[in-house]
Chains A and B, each alone.
Chain A
């Protein structure tokens, strides 16, 4: 009896809980995002070295910082899926994976926009952070395509869980090896200062606000994605059908 409860109960519990939290999270995200974006793009003073380019850096740093969290989250969700066979963890992992791919893509885009001004080129291999982000992006895409290739949702869940754990370890190794690779390729000194200087309160405070806004955004997106997934997968269960009837 309690297995049934465990099985069906926890998605419902998540659905109810996230339903109550979402309005607050969305409100918080809206405030932080508006303040952060307006401050970052309109009011951050020009940097003595980078000029107004530093404004996009505030956005870039926030997105990039958040991007780093995705693989660890997926690895933890994957461990929960494999060890405790909890279906909720996989629904979260699915939502996180596609969001992570978007975040990595935006990190690469903002990074290269910033680079186009600072380096005079849209892509610079000697920047180890962007290079390893590129490979993280590839690995996230591979997790997503593995999931879409496997038909059976149970198999897909566990295969992706395993790949996320392996991928997480790999991303760390890639990060260090790309840095190592760069130090030996002796980049020109102007290029090596990739993310440059974010000094002074007028830089880090809007950056902090943007980081918080980004994490709230991630929380909201993951919750909404997971809720969507719950409704799809639990469509047969009674509470979802009741929900549909209520309209």
Chain B
């Protein structure tokens, strides 16, 4: 087939990958906003889990200060995990995923669009809520910005890693536990980087290095995870 024929088939109606990325992002956001209750669930879950810790451990402000970051991070991890099902499941069940796989655009960018939409809907709200929860856990004032910045860098990584896990398990009937088993151990480095950064600022140490490392993790995850997710999706629909 010659190039001119290619052009005719792609036609003047053909759209660029960027436009397809935007269309997919827009669609996923629309699905999320139309199912309003589900939109709030991860956020409420985050709130509830965080408020269980003072009850379960101690209301002592000094102890809470000590554990605040860890609690926030672990709760964010769990909230992100529970919201992951929205990422590909309904698309798998209604057949939209097949349409996505058969689009002429690179699946890499299509999964990236879906991950971005997932983060905007379930990760970003957690970051926005975190100062309030930080206050309730007696987080010292100097740690707020670091916490927000690290959550801002870390929650997209959770969505990216989660996307691989969901893509691998999307064809399973009951996938909740196995998804958790795959995702949670993988999230250890982010948990470490995030808590260390905040711990470091609370000790009065510089925090730039920690944030740089998280940024690097995000860059690596953003470039590799969509690739792995795309491969996993192809395997799962097989």
Given A141-B181, A142-B181, A146-B182, A163 and B193 contact (CB-CB distance below 8 Å): no
Of B168, B192, B199, the contact of A178 (CB 8 Å cutoff): B192
CB distance from A116 to the nearest CB of B (A): 25
Taking CB atoms and an 8 Å cut-off, the chain A residues in 52-106 that contact chain B are: 82
Interface centre among B189, B228, B236 (most CB of A within 10 A): B189
CB of A82 within 8 A of CB of B231, answer: yes
Q: How many A-B residue pairs have CB under 8 A?
A: 73
CB distance from B16 to the nearest CB of A (A): 29
CB distance from A35 to the nearest CB of B (A): 37
Provide the residues of chain B in CB contact with A169, threshold 8 Å. Answer: 224
Of B178, B184, B238, the contact of A146 (CB 8 Å cutoff): B178
Indicate if A21 sits at the interface (CB-CB under 8 A): no
Given A142-B182, A180-B196, A181-B196, A150 and B228 contact (CB-CB distance below 8 Å): no
* Closest A residue, CB atoms, query B181: A142
Of A82, A163, A174, A184, the contact of B189 (CB 8 Å cutoff): A174
Provide the residues of chain A in CB contact with B86, threshold 8 Å. Answer: none
Whole-angstrom CA separation of A192 from B232 in the bound complex: 40
Provide the residues of chain A in CB contact with B63, threshold 8 Å. Answer: none
Given A146-B168, A149-B172, A162-B232, A184 and B185 contact (CB-CB distance below 8 Å): no
Provide the residues of chain A in CB contact with B182, threshold 8 Å. Answer: 142, 146, 163
Indicate if A159 sits at the interface (CB-CB under 8 A): yes
Whole-angstrom CA separation of A159 from B179 in the bound complex: 13
Indicate if B186 sits at the interface (CB-CB under 8 A): yes
Whole-angstrom CA separation of A138 from B181 in the bound complex: 7
The range of chain A's interface size is 20 to 34
Indicate if A228 sits at the interface (CB-CB under 8 A): no
Indicate if B171 sits at the interface (CB-CB under 8 A): yes
CB distance from A133 to the nearest CB of B (A): 12
Provide the residues of chain A in CB contact with B172, threshold 8 Å. Answer: 149-150
CB of B193 within 8 A of CB of A177, answer: yes
CB of B236 within 8 A of CB of A155, answer: yes
Given A154-B238, A181-B196, A159 and B189 contact (CB-CB distance below 8 Å): no
Whole-angstrom CA separation of A170 from B220 in the bound complex: 12
Of B169, B175, B217, B235, the contact of A158 (CB 8 Å cutoff): B235
Whole-angstrom CA separation of A145 from B185 in the bound complex: 14
Provide the residues of chain A in CB contact with B235, threshold 8 Å. Answer: 155, 158-159, 162
CB of B171 within 8 A of CB of A162, answer: no
CB distance from A126 to the nearest CB of B (A): 13
Provide the residues of chain A in CB contact with B238, threshold 8 Å. Answer: 152, 154-155, 158
Given A146-B168, A159-B235, A162-B235, A174 and B188 contact (CB-CB distance below 8 Å): yes
Whole-angstrom CA separation of A89 from B143 in the bound complex: 49
CB of B196 within 8 A of CB of A184, answer: yes
Given A135-B188, A141-B181, A155-B236, A163 and B199 contact (CB-CB distance below 8 Å): no
Provide the residues of chain B in CB contact with A180, threshold 8 Å. Answer: 192, 196
Whole-angstrom CA separation of A162 from B229 in the bound complex: 9
* Closest A residue, CB atoms, query B217: A173
CB of A146 within 8 A of CB of B196, answer: no
Taking CB atoms and an 8 Å cut-off, the chain B residues in 140-164 that contact chain A are: 164
CB distance from A134 to the nearest CB of B (A): 9
Interfacial residues, chain B to chain A (CB-CB below 8 A): 164, 168-169, 171-172, 175, 178, 181-182, 184-186, 188-189, 192-193, 196, 199-200, 217, 224, 228, 231-232, 235-236, 238
Can you list 20 residue pairs at the A/B interface with Cβ under 8 Å? A135-B185, A138-B185, A142-B185, A145-B181, A146-B178, A146-B182, A149-B175, A154-B238, A155-B238, A158-B238, A159-B232, A163-B168, A166-B186, A166-B228, A167-B186, A169-B224, A174-B188, A174-B189, A181-B196, A184-B199
